[in-house]
Structure 1
Amino acid sequence: MTFRWLCGVLRVRGKTDLLLVFLFAAGFAALPVFALLPSLWGFVAASAVTYVVDEVLHTRAPAFVRRLAALQLTRTMRFAVRTVMLLALADRMDASDAVLVAALAVFSAHFTVVILYTAVHHAIRRRRTLPVVVRNLDMSGAGIPQSPPALLYRRFLRKLLHLDLPAHAGLLAALAAGAWQPAGIGFALTAGFAVAAVVALLGQLRRARRMPSGDEVIAELNRQLAGYRPEVALYFSFAAVSRDFMYQVNMWIETLEQLDRRPLIILRERASFRYLSRTSIPVVCIPKADDVAQLELPELRVVLYPGNAGKNVHMLRVAESKHVFIGHGDSDKLASSNRVSKVYDEIWVAGRAGRDRYQRVRHAISDSAIVEVGRPQLSSIRLHADHVPGPLPTVLYAPTWEGWSDDDCHTSLIPMGVPLVEKLLAENVRVLYKPHPLTGKRSREAAEADRAIRELLRADNERRGGQEAEAAIATARPRLAEIQARLGELSGRLGGDDAQQTREARPAGLDGEAEWHELRAEWHRLFRESRGPVLHQVIVKQLPTLYECFDQADILISDVSSVVADFVASLKPYVLTNANGLSDDAFRAAYTTAGGAYLLDRDCTRLPEILDAVREPGHDPMAPERRVLKEYVLGPDRPTSMERFNAAVNVLACKAAAEQEERHADEQEVVVQLTG
């Protein structure tokens, strides 16, 4: 418990990171000691440790580094501390006044250059901040200049601060040799490199002055949109956007690409743009509401919303279009039957279950506004009949997160997550643990339970021979990284800042589509093979995908969430956690997806009996209920959900066009009456 508490406080993930933190702290604590003794070689060792470990922690434990910055122990402050200790060491070792003055002057000048460089960098970045970021439209006519070289522009503070290394090394060498020439060489190198860096960046500032104005960029964007003539838009906004939220957009991309009508994706937060998956659809990220109002979309007929967010109102004002809430998965949570959905013209749900769910707020939502369109994303999920079991039963534990408030908290992590995993390990099964991307964002208890489960699985992997498997994982890691880098390129994640990505944006073709699918399949195959059929897995990144986890699992254990509704498509057995101790009848009455589920109490006493449904497929009494539930939750298999979704778009687009023509005719009649 103390170990987990300490990891939580320091924001590190395990023993290795914790050891690095202690080494980092010991190195900095030793600097003043060795400086005052004085001990030259002790100081050299401590200084080297602080340099190296600091860099490693930036890669391995960025949350710890951010915690340091919150305590005002920024990277710049840590470099300053190291420099002050070095000057103290030189003074204690009787360095000459000339050397001390020169050192103080050089180090002071170095930090002054850092400040000046930062100011110039910020000036360039402000000038290069455009009102929009664009993908898959030709923006070459906007006249956006080339981004500054990455050497000067990206992670500049890290590079600039490390320019003190020649001066540090030179002064330490001088103290060791008793001759001051090495110090002079080091001082000259540090000063020369720093000045050269500022001069080079000032040249880039002159180029940035040629950036087009925001109005010019939006005018060029509207010219490109006029040529493309989008008819359907997917609109997405989220206040705290990150890669954790972009699954809500990425899950709809393939569906949009198969529509009869020309689609467009509109994003509202810059951070979301870089986590967008591969698509040939034009994408526009436009953060400010005033700029959204300048978009010219005369043929836009249908706007689709995967999430309820405050910024949706900036698009809902467009009266010429029909606005549809499609959500990011059907579940029994409040978000899937929210009264706020009344602001939309229609609400599209997967099946009859979604319609019935909205009837609970019948005073707000009209039944005629609800359309059943299925879940096109689920067509690739492998059915239970086609599943080949492994040597051990594979249990996918996919708890939801703790919600925005305790009233909406459905996660099993806090009340029963750790004992559940302990009992699963006692049952000798393989666990795929995939927590919700937002796990631990609001609740410390959920974060602690998440860390505890990861540690349990890691320890059990060691018992199962995980050390031997590390060789296979290490062998596969370079190829996996290579594939992910290529997938990033194929996704359109170009180098440079947002302005550079917009500058290089071009209409997408089909080039690379086959390679994209082949590489994703290869990545999943290598990932599975390298980890084997026995070891547990903790899955927290975008790959492997959730649906790939579905295909690998024999059974799902989850909470009330859209994950369960999607898993129903496989017809495999699944378990819903009943942490609040409701009776079975009350729980099934409250939550639609419980109709085909095995229910697990907080003490997990039913777990061995439930796992029999996997170990003995003939002993699966909930199988008939799952078949009935699948159609109720997800709709019929024929016509396909893609066909139903496409038809719903076409019907609503035609309706919007007819209403617009009617309004135009009415306006013309009013004009005639006024002028007659």
Structure 2
Amino acid sequence: MDVQPFTSPRRRTGVSRIQRRTPHRTPPHKTRPFLRGSLFMTFRWWCGVLRVRGKTDLFLVFLFAAGFAALPVFALLPSLWGFAVASAVSYAADEVLHTRAPAFVRRLAALQLTRTLRFAVRTVMLLALADRMDAPGAVLVAALAVFSAHFTLVVLYTAVHHAIRRRRTLPVVVRNLDMSGAGIPQTPPAFLYRRFLRKSLHLDVPAHAGLLAALAAGVWQPVGIGFALTAGLSVAAVVALLGQLRRARRMPSRDEVIGEVNRQLAGYRPEVALYFSFASVSRDFMYQVNMWIETLEQLDRRPLIILRERASFRYLGRTRIPVVCVPKADDVAQLELPELRVVLYPGNAGKNVHMLRVAEAKHVFIGHGDSDKLASSNRVSKVYDEIWVAGRAGRDRYQRVRHAINDEAIVEVGRPQLSSIRLHSDHVPGPLPTVLYAPTWEGWSDDDCHTSLIPMGVPLVEKLLAEGVRVIYKPHPLTGKRSRAAAEADRTVRALLRADNERRDAERAEAAVAAARPRLAEIKARLGELSGRLGGDDAQQTREARVPDRDGEGEWRALRAEWHRIFWESRGQVRHHVVLAQLPTLYECFDQADMLISDVSSVVADFVASLKPYVLTNANGLTDEDFRAAYTTAGGAYLLDRDCARLPEILDAVRAPRRDPMAPERRILKEYVLGPDHPTSLRRFNTAVNALAERAAAERFAEEQEVVVELSGRSA
């Protein structure tokens, strides 16, 4: 069957040539909305180009640009006070944008407008101003010498910093193992080590201020004071960092660090490992690991988490499980894991082969959610010993991949993560129907594109707002990473929800959000501490790694519950919300929603556990019969076409539950997709781990016996 591509249909205006030639005066009441729309589109375009998020950031960007553009003008006029104001504005805006709009700063760096270059431009303009104001030649020569020396010292400081960082780069980063015996020295002081370029460049401020003060007063003593401070502080900073370089030379060698890790692992004796790698690890991907942590902690066997990218530690959730991050394949081979029996893989990645080589263990693909996408029945999964799926639907999905996966290799274990999701019967509706719109991302290619955001996301949200519902919008973390159209639709949806929130009693709602913000920040900081996110670089975190106790687990659960309670109470029951961060969690959004609207993805399969109504988007225009035949999770779904014509009828399933004809289908689908409720999913998962571990141990024992027999035969 032909599938329509994701392109917007052309609209025929139906306007004749005569009508187009006839002058027409638009009434004022129609012109104003048009102008507002044009201004809004222009604003969004500028935000997209400059990589900023809102009006305040856009204003700062224009202020920053105006400050730099004014520097040569005021230097050549010359205008001392104008230059002083422009310089101060450029300094301040530059600093604030680094915090508020890092994407804009990265865009500048990509255009070679780096921070160092911006400081150099500001200095050159200051020298031009001094020359135009007839400063003495000796002052100009001294200024040129001091500023040149300062930039030279900045280069030297950067080189020393990089040397320290290279020495402090460990082959293995560790959490939840006692690494106090590794002999790793303390990290350099934060004021010397962190954000070093920003701090070293700003040492030119005394020299700038002294020269401007001298030009204003007509006396040259301030110049000497300012130059002396800049030169002295720059030299002192380099000398202090050289002392830290001497300490960094005492870092343990690669073999010493790996040896200490192996000693700690020998004492722990891990039996099950969760292995994760991805090409670009960030919070966009670590959810694939975090969703399995609680399940691993409840296994009968001793678990271990093995990561491959250093950035993954930044977004790893709280766990008492030992974690080792080993970036290089050669170092993975140096890990000694003699009792390892089962290795679990939540994702398919090229670096998985570095662990698959361990023949003594059994390798299992567990994935990060069941869905009807091709990735959930990939032929690559044939390299694993077993594939664990939630329910019968997963088994059938792999069976459709002919001549690839043996039925004996597929094990149904359920989804242990879903036990906390609130059932439809326990849900208490709010004053307005709450719809969770959670579109998937655009995929690595157009062939994988299942997202509704591009063809119908904006009109869908517009119609939801027209229907008077509350919207919780949670896009996939990778939304807009590949497709500019998806990124643009995402920005438009956020803007629509923000504008509607402003219309709905904005002042009272903003006051409640502002009042809750300090406590939410305090809880989040404490959660970070309890999660083991220590300060310092990777070497410092490994140095301070210790075996955790269980005392913090109760506090961590209580604080997470309190964070979610305060968060939702402060937002009210009518305010829309855009969820982008790790908190609130996806499953907390499930509990808030009366209905889900999503695309073909694992989000839908997980939502089925709640038995609440859900909607699948059918943007390609398939018939209902073909769509349900193609996608298993459509069996209990309401289907929404690209024009969203059925939306009012679908919302009746929330407004009047008795008109919910798909409720029986959802109950049937739940067991088919997620497996039976008894025994529990956690118990089934634990049983599968134990059975496979025992099988691996038995096979290894048999191999050892064969070797013994063979050696005995040779000796005889």
Match of 1:202 in 2: 242
Q: Return the offset for 1:186.
A: 1.1
Determine if the alignment matches structure 1 residue 238 to structure 2 residue 278.
yes
Match of 1:58 in 2: 98
Distance in 1 (alpha carbons) for counterparts of 2:81 and 2:378 = 66
Where 1:167 maps in the other structure, the secondary structure is helix
Determine if the alignment matches structure 1 residue 316 to structure 2 residue 356.
yes
The aligned amino acid for 2:572 is G
Q: Return the offset for 1:98.
A: 1.4
1:204-603 to structure 2, matched below 5 A, reads 204-603=244-643
Distance in 2 (alpha carbons) for counterparts of 1:502 and 1:311 = 23
The aligned amino acid for 1:226 is A
Q: Return the offset for 1:216.
A: 0.6
Q: 1:617 aligns with which of 654, 657, 671?
A: 657
Q: Return the offset for 1:192.
A: 1.1
Q: Return the offset for 1:414.
A: 0.4
Distance in 2 (alpha carbons) for counterparts of 1:94 and 1:53 = 30
Q: Return the offset for 1:179.
A: 1.0
Q: Return the offset for 1:472.
A: 1.5
Where 2:400 maps in the other structure, the secondary structure is helix
Distance in 2 (alpha carbons) for counterparts of 1:440 and 1:331 = 21
Distance in 1 (alpha carbons) for counterparts of 2:123 and 2:347 = 50
Distance in 1 (alpha carbons) for counterparts of 2:54 and 2:493 = 12
Determine if the alignment matches structure 1 residue 114 to structure 2 residue 154.
yes
Whether the 8 Å contact between 1:596 and 1:625 is mirrored in structure 2 is yes
Q: 2:179 aligns with which of 139, 149, 165?
A: 139
Distance in 2 (alpha carbons) for counterparts of 1:12 and 1:48 = 22
Q: 2:136 aligns with which of 96, 104, 115?
A: 96
Q: 2:224 aligns with which of 168, 184, 188?
A: 184
Q: Return the offset for 1:314.
A: 0.3
Where 1:450 maps in the other structure, the secondary structure is helix
Match of 1:664 in 2: 704
Q: Return the offset for 1:181.
A: 1.1
Distance in 1 (alpha carbons) for counterparts of 2:137 and 2:405 = 82
Where 2:657 maps in the other structure, the secondary structure is coil
The CA deviation string for residues 13-47 of structure 1, in whole angstroms up to 9 with x for no partner, is 22222121111111110110011111111111111
Distance in 2 (alpha carbons) for counterparts of 1:98 and 1:592 = 82
Match of 2:34 in 1: none
The aligned amino acid for 1:363 is H
Q: Return the offset for 1:184.
A: 1.3
Distance in 2 (alpha carbons) for counterparts of 1:365 and 1:477 = 51
Q: Return the offset for 1:656.
A: 0.2
Distance in 2 (alpha carbons) for counterparts of 1:7 and 1:370 = 48
The aligned amino acid for 1:72 is Q
The CA deviation string for residues 393-450 of structure 1, in whole angstroms up to 9 with x for no partner, is 1110000000001000000000000010010110011100000000000000000000
Q: Return the offset for 1:342.
A: 0.2
Whether the 8 Å contact between 1:128 and 1:211 is mirrored in structure 2 is yes
Distance in 1 (alpha carbons) for counterparts of 2:299 and 2:552 = 20
The aligned amino acid for 1:133 is V
Give unmatched runs, 5+ long, in structure 1: none
The aligned amino acid for 2:651 is L
Normalising by the residue count of structure 2, what TM-score does the alignment of the two structures yield? 0.94
Match of 2:30 in 1: none
Larger deviation, residues 218-227 vs 465-474: 465-474
The CA deviation string for residues 272-331 of structure 1, in whole angstroms up to 9 with x for no partner, is 012100000000000000000000000000000000000000000000000000000000
Where 1:252 maps in the other structure, the secondary structure is helix
Whether the 8 Å contact between 1:466 and 1:535 is mirrored in structure 2 is no
Q: Return the offset for 1:60.
A: 1.2
Distance in 2 (alpha carbons) for counterparts of 1:413 and 1:466 = 27
The CA deviation string for residues 612-664 of structure 1, in whole angstroms up to 9 with x for no partner, is 10011111000000000000000000000000000000000000000000011
The aligned amino acid for 1:6 is W
Match of 2:79 in 1: 39
The aligned amino acid for 1:370 is I
Match of 2:13 in 1: none
The aligned amino acid for 1:233 is A
Q: Return the offset for 1:4.
A: 2.3
Distance in 2 (alpha carbons) for counterparts of 1:274 and 1:214 = 23
The CA deviation string for residues 540-569 of structure 1, in whole angstroms up to 9 with x for no partner, is 000000000000000000000000000000
Give unmatched runs, 5+ long, in structure 2: 1-40
Where 1:251 maps in the other structure, the secondary structure is helix
Larger deviation, residues 332-341 vs 55-64: 55-64
Match of 1:167 in 2: 207
Distance in 2 (alpha carbons) for counterparts of 1:479 and 1:169 = 40
Larger deviation, residues 410-419 vs 160-169: 160-169
The aligned amino acid for 2:490 is D
Normalising by the residue count of structure 1, what TM-score does the alignment of the two structures yield? 0.99
Determine if the alignment matches structure 1 residue 674 to structure 2 residue 714.
yes
Distance in 2 (alpha carbons) for counterparts of 1:183 and 1:628 = 82
- The ranges of structure 1 where at least 4 consecutive aligned residues each deviate by more than 4 angstroms after the TM superposition are none
Distance in 2 (alpha carbons) for counterparts of 1:546 and 1:247 = 10
The aligned amino acid for 1:182 is P
Where 2:334 maps in the other structure, the secondary structure is coil
Distance in 1 (alpha carbons) for counterparts of 2:451 and 2:135 = 63
Whether the 8 Å contact between 1:401 and 1:438 is mirrored in structure 2 is yes
Q: Return the offset for 1:351.
A: 0.4
The CA deviation string for residues 219-250 of structure 1, in whole angstroms up to 9 with x for no partner, is 11000000000000000000011111000000
Whether the 8 Å contact between 1:350 and 1:374 is mirrored in structure 2 is yes
Distance in 2 (alpha carbons) for counterparts of 1:157 and 1:654 = 55
Distance in 1 (alpha carbons) for counterparts of 2:136 and 2:576 = 62
Identical amino acids, percent of aligned pairs: 86
Whether the 8 Å contact between 1:354 and 1:633 is mirrored in structure 2 is yes
Q: Return the offset for 1:362.
A: 3.1
- Between the two proteins, the alignment pairs up a number of residues equal to 676
Where 1:293 maps in the other structure, the secondary structure is helix
Match of 1:634 in 2: 674
Match of 2:684 in 1: 644
The aligned amino acid for 1:180 is W
Distance in 1 (alpha carbons) for counterparts of 2:311 and 2:190 = 19
Distance in 2 (alpha carbons) for counterparts of 1:588 and 1:335 = 19
Where 2:274 maps in the other structure, the secondary structure is strand
